């Protein structure tokens, strides 16, 4: 017996809209909930001290008995990185391709969640029944092998999620996107398409990963000393091309950086990275070989301060330092927000004498994006011919741009839904409309704490970071309220004490005066006394320095 | 009577090398010191709480009686913004063109330095004798009118400083760069050229500012409601083109944002901005006119959180809000580091329904750089034909790239000097070599404090911003060392207290135990006691939370 509310299809995001990261999309039909991806996001600049951000899964926890599983499109952090946190609270089966699950297993083992989690490997031919919904998968090209899109057949119609994709006509592993299957799905009829919007602002087609291989080959050929390539550890296809270039130009290859070593190991084990025997060397062997016989692949393409490449550039890496004449390739473009750290790393590499190849000075291209540009996106839209379109995986303007592309190939403007996380689109009898809003948001992770840092703590960190803190301590007598000790003022992050002794002396006087005044006015509540101290001191310091440090009055009574 | 050390020519930078900002170059011959520009820089991300950064002028203060004057190339902040701080300590005459000094005067008035500072207006035909050095000026094109390069004739030879420049064959004010004068200087012989490296990595010629005018005209023509253009207040030529577009398309123009109003006023007063009568309207009048009769020019092209455009986008501006159908033009590219704030502003503008035109979606270009690209730079090098070349105004890799351009037009590799701030190049008998290093560095300005925030304070702010602070207070008896009150633990920016009562209770126990242990071991020095508390608590908290808040033990004795 089905009631009306049950037979409704709804689609929404718990993460991934109006942002790049923490992708998590939900398709629900009646009592069956399917989750697609569980990503993390790296913190925004203003999230001081936060390590990672994951989606708020309150909705899933409130409906935990209905969640049939989490389907994964591919093995990047913004699609699988949230799993160790989320599976701890929601024990459901996960479905993914071999490489994707290989990368997930590594994470789950570290989080002691491997045994409790049911994991099902799928491929291009799999069909999975999840309650009333049938899921199938289609190969796409992206900067990591074994990426798939997902088609969900529901009683209300088919919902397609592209995953992250581009159309690469000459992919590195010769594993083309399965355009035939996409065409078949499109022909049968797609009710709603959810498609990757990352590059919706970019005209043209995204280049083939193989172009990068050609550029790398040339660099390996002409480099007279060592060649060091930094790229994303997750870009297995790029790593394959570095392996191939090293092989073709008779260089041994050392792998540097924890996440790079890990990615190489897993993808070799699972057969996604083909490395000739004897090609890889231990980093300790680098200095024993002639420079022109060595290549290195490393993390640090974003100039991250603690990464292997940055440490090499500053002579702070244990195993290898950059020598004059080495060629260093940054085979990645800076992620928005990282432009300055990348530029600093390039500068430092030049300083130590390296020949640096990076996006600004490389005419033949040592990086291509893994995401489709406007023509790729239109090709997907044309293959799928969806009735409704919901652009995903992008900031607001990218979703907009993608919506316009959909309109340009014939999707009706009123059938394009530009959503935020938590906005639901409901389908019923072939018609779509906005439904009610779902609770969602950001869960901040700081160290071991999940969600114990919120706006108040962040506001305090912000305040502390701007002008530091002044702690004012004073001990009063329980008997007569007289000052027994203090006021003492201790400052951190405010000003050099040596340079401001007089200022702090005066501050001390202000506190004493304020306390005397309060005593005369018979202010007995500590809260009011503390407020008076804070206000008087804050005013004084702002007048004198134009700064507003946090002021923390502490009153002890003995 | 001249001794040998006096007759030496030396050239160096106190700011502007390996950075974009705080430009300050020094040319010294014998006892005559000439300073070129006195800029400021905006703080790097890690300089928490800092407002601006200026060069360390210790060298100039130690040689104050030798400083003959400060010559200014143009009126941008990174060339004149340091003057209010520097002239306070070094009262010397300043030389600049009419608009440059107009902008400087506004700053000096605010800093109460106007009356004490001797200001001399120069132009393309001026010659100024400064001790043994004769300075002349040549017009260049840049994104602000009245920009000049400077030629310094010294007994050792001529040193040329280009200022910031590009070659604009169709400049907005029809005021071409004076290529004839440059040719003449070059023909007479240039010992050393100092030239702007900002765009040394960019191939080709930089486009003409007039191209932007054409793009703007089209936008003003087709916009059916209000057109709002955000750009740099300092880009007077860009402002002129917005004025022209408003005039040509029968729109009244409102000027919004404090620095924009200021720039418009000064440049109108001095005749550098030609505005038809009745074109400008008060912001209060915006809503009284039909939308298609209104244009707005505003600050906020970098998405700065407090800027006029950002406030408009969020409905937080007192005078004007963005309405659906308005066209908003971001006529500037993001400065490195500002990409994310710009993207957020674009997103927010879309959300409120504006039609947004910005670098990624504007094919015909609403921004061109004010700095010359590789072909401009080669043209300058060819005109000047310098014997020695010292690339300036750029980060290390830009200086390198510029050095290679110089070599490509025939400067000998050993005659190219890639310097850091403080590196001196000395010329004697027509030969150049590196001299001794000059003290230089960054002076940080926070509120009213100049240089009272340094590495220790910044390190504390960084620590505080990451994991907050725990203050541990305890009162001991003077007589017997027993605890009279406390330990009390107060945290800020560490964790929600509500969520962590148990943690803080345990922390309290740790402190008490540590103090008891110290008492048993007869630790009597407070410093050791504090260190023990800090270490024990830090270890405990890291174990439990993987965070490292600053810990501040305070011991009171009564």
pLDDT tens digits, B191-208: 999 999 999 999 999 999
Residue A37 to residue A117: CA distance in whole angstroms: 15
Q: Tell me: the pLDDT tens digits for A442-461?
A: 999 888 778 777 888 889 99
Q: Which residues of A are marked as active site?
A: 196, 371
Q: Tell me: the pLDDT tens digits for B438-452?
A: 989 999 988 887 877
Q: Which residues of B are annotated as a binding site?
A: 49, 51, 74, 76, 78-79, 142, 164, 233-235, 367-371, 393, 446
Q: What is the pLDDT of residue B2?
A: 42
Of B161, B99, B95, B90, the closest CA to residue B129 belongs to: B95
The contacts of residue B315 (CB under 8 Å, 6+ apart) are B321, B322, B352
Evaluate if residue A122 carries a pLDDT over 70: yes
Q: Which of B465, B485, B499 sits opposite A48 (nearest CB)?
A: B465
CATH superfamily, with its number, for domain B209-361? Metallo-hydrolase/oxidoreductase (3.40.50.10710)
Q: What is the pLDDT of residue B484?
A: 84
H or E element that contains A354: none
Tokens of A116: 């409790």
Residue B402 to residue B417: CA distance in whole angstroms: 11
Q: Which of A458, A485, A552 sits opposite B558 (nearest CB)?
A: A485
Q: Does B46 touch chain A (CB under 8 A)?
A: no
Q: Tell me: the pLDDT tens digits for A60-116?
A: 999 999 999 999 999 999 999 999 999 999 999 999 999 999 999 999 999 999 999
Helix locations, B270-338, DSSP H: 308-313
Evaluate if residue B478 carries a pLDDT over 50: yes
Q: What is the pLDDT of residue A230?
A: 95
Residues of B in contact with A485 (CB under 8 A): 475, 556-558
Q: What is the pLDDT of residue A498?
A: 67
Residues of A in contact with B550 (CB under 8 A): 492
Evaluate if residue B173 carries a pLDDT over 80: no
CB contact under 8 A, A556 and B485: yes
CB contact under 8 A, B452 and A18: no
Residues of B in contact with A493 (CB under 8 A): 48-49, 457-458, 460-461, 463-464
User: Would you place residue A274 in the very low, low, confident or very high pLDDT band (cuts 50, 70, 90)?
Assistant: very high
Q: Tell me: the pLDDT tens digits for B385-424?
A: 999 999 999 999 999 999 999 999 999 999 999 999 999 9
Residues of A in contact with B202 (CB under 8 A): 360
Nearest CA in chain B to A202: B360
Write down the domain spans for chain B. 9-204+369-450, 209-361, 455-557
SS3 of residue A149 by DSSP: strand
Q: Tell me: the pLDDT tens digits for B337-381?
A: 888 889 999 999 999 999 999 877 766 688 889 999 999 999 999
Q: Tell me: the pLDDT tens digits for A138-183?
A: 999 999 999 999 999 999 999 999 999 999 999 887 788 999 999 9
Evaluate if residue A496 carries a pLDDT over 90: no
Q: Which of B395, B493, B495 sits opposite A464 (nearest CB)?
A: B493
Q: Does B481 touch chain A (CB under 8 A)?
A: no
Share of chain B above pLDDT 70, in %: 98
Q: Does A282 belong to an annotated binding site?
A: no
Chain A residues 124-153 with CB within 8 Å of chain B: none
Domain B9-204+369-450 in CATH 3.90.1300.10? The answer is no
SS3 of residue A267 by DSSP: helix
Q: Does B49 touch chain A (CB under 8 A)?
A: yes
Q: Does A347 touch chain B (CB under 8 A)?
A: yes
Q: What is the pLDDT of residue B304?
A: 86
Of A360, A314, A8, the closest CA to residue A154 belongs to: A8
What number is the average pLDDT over the span B242-253? 96
Chain A residues 425-464 with CB within 8 Å of chain B: 446-449, 452-454, 456-458, 460-464
Q: Does A259 belong to an annotated binding site?
A: no
Q: What is the pLDDT of residue B451?
A: 76
Phi, psi of A439 (to 5 degrees): -65, 130
User: Would you place residue A504 in the very low, low, confident or very high pLDDT band (cuts 50, 70, 90)?
Assistant: confident
CB contact under 8 A, A469 and B467: no
Share of chain B above pLDDT 90, in %: 72
Q: Tell me: the pLDDT tens digits for A533-544?
A: 999 999 999 998
- HEC letters along B77-129: HHHHCCHHHHHHHCCCCEEECHHHHHHHHHHHHHCCCCCCCCEEECCCCCEEE
Question: Distance from B477 to chain A by nearest Cα, in Å?
Answer: 10
User: Would you place residue A1 in the very low, low, confident or very high pLDDT band (cuts 50, 70, 90)?
Assistant: very low
Q: Which of B461, B486, B545 sits opposite A556 (nearest CB)?
A: B486
What number is the average pLDDT over the span B118-129? 96
CB contact under 8 A, A464 and B462: no
Q: What is the pLDDT of residue B3?
A: 43
Q: Which of B395, B464, B484 sits opposite A343 (nearest CB)?
A: B395
Residue B416 to residue A423: CA distance in whole angstroms: 60
CB contact under 8 A, B554 and A490: yes
Residue A183 to residue A186: CA distance in whole angstroms: 5
What number is the average pLDDT over the span A35-51? 90
Q: What is the pLDDT of residue A363?
A: 61
Evaluate if residue B1 carries a pLDDT over 50: no
The sign of the dihedral angle between the CA atoms of A44, A50, A51, A54 is negative
Q: Does A485 touch chain B (CB under 8 A)?
A: yes
What number is the average pLDDT over the span A370-394? 97
Share of chain A above pLDDT 70, in %: 98
Q: Does A314 belong to an annotated binding site?
A: no
The contacts of residue A439 (CB under 8 Å, 6+ apart) are A56, A58, A59, A422
Question: Distance from A361 to chain B by nearest Cα, in Å?
Answer: 7
Phi, psi of B266 (to 5 degrees): -65, -45
CB contact under 8 A, A457 and B360: no
Higher-confidence residue of B94 and A497: namely B94
What number is the average pLDDT over the span B325-337? 89
Q: What mean pLDDT value characterizes chain B?
A: 91
Name the burial class of residue A433, with classes exposed (0-12), middle (13-18) and buried (19+) by CB atoms within 10 angstroms of its CB: exposed
Class of domain A455-557 as given by CATH: alpha beta
Q: What is the pLDDT of residue A221?
A: 93
Q: How far apart are the first and last CA of chain A?
A: 72
Q: What is the pLDDT of residue A4?
A: 45
Instruction: Exactly one of B56, B196, B244, B423 is catalytic; name it.
Output: B196
Q: Does A396 touch chain B (CB under 8 A)?
A: yes
The contacts of residue B133 (CB under 8 Å, 6+ apart) are B27, B29, B32, B34, B68, B152, B153, B154
């Amino acid at each position: 017996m089905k009631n009306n509310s049950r037979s409704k299809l709804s689609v929404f995001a718990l993460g991934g809209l109006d942002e790049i990261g923490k992708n998590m999309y939900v398709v629900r039909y009646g009592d069956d909930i399917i989750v697609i991806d569980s990503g993390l996001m790296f913190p925004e600049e203003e999230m001081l001290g936060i390590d990672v951000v994951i989606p708020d899964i309150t909705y899933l926890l409130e409906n935990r008995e209905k969640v049939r599983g989490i389907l994964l499109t591919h093995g990047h952090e913004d699609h699988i990185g949230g799993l160790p946190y989320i599976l701890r609270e929601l024990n459901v089966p996960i479905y993914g391709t071999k490489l994707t699950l290989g990368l997930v297993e590594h994470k789950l083992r570290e989080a002691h969640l491997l045994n409790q989690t049911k994991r099902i490997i799928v491929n291009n031919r799999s069909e999975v029944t999840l309650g009333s919904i049938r899921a199938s998968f289609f190969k796409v090209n992206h900067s990591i092998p074994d990426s798939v899109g997902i088609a969900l057949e529901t009683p209300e119609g088919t919902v397609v999620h592209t995953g992250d994709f581009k159309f690469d006509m000459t992919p590195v592993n010769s594993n083309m996107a399965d355009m035939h299957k996409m065409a078949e799905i499109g022909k049968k009829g797609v009710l709603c398409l959810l498609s990757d919007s990352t590059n919706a602002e970019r005209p043209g087609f995204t280049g083939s990963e193989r172009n990068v291989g050609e550029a790398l080959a040339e660099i390996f050929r002409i480099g007279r000393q060592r060649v060091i390539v930094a790229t994303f550890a997750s870009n297995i296809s790029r790593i394959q091309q570095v392996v191939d270039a090293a092989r073709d130009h008779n260089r041994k290859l050392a792998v540097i950086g924890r996440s790079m070593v890990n990615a190489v190991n897993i993808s070799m084990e699972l057969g996604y990275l083909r490395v000739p025997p004897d090609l890889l060397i231990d980093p300790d062997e680098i200095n024993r070989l002639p420079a022109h016989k060595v290549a290195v692949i490393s993390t640090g393409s974003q100039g991250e301060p603690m990464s292997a490449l940055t440490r090499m550039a500053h002579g702070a890496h244990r195993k290898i330092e950059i020598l004059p004449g080495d060629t260093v390739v940054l085979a990645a473009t800076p992620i928005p927000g990282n432009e300055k750290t990348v530029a600093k790393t390039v500068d430092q590499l030049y300083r130590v004498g390296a020949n640096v190849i990076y996006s600004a000075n490389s005419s033949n291209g040592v990086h291509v994006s893994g995401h489709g540009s406007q023509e790729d996106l239109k090709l997907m839209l044309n293959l799928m011919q969806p009735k409704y379109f919901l652009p995903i995986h992008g900031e607001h303007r990218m979703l907009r741009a993608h919506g316009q592309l959909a309109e340009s190939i014939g999707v009706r403007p009123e059938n394009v839904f530009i959503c935020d996380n938590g906005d639901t689109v409901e389908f019923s009898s072939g018609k779509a409309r906005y439904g009610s809003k779902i609770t969602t948001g950001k869960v901040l992770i700081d160290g071991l704490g999940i969600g114990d840092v919120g706006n108040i703590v962040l506001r305090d960190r912000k305040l502390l970071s701007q002008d530091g803190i002044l702690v004012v301590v004073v001990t009063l007598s329980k008997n007569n309220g007289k000052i027994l000790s203090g006021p003492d003022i201790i400052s951190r992050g405010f000003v050099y004490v040596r340079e401001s002794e007089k200022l702090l002396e005066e501050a001390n006087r202000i506190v004493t005066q304020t306390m005397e005044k309060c005593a005369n006015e018979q202010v007995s509540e500590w809260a009011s006394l503390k407020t008076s101290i804070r206000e008087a001191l804050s005013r004084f310091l702002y007048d004198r320095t134009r700064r507003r440090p946090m002021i923390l009055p502490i009153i002890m009574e003995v």
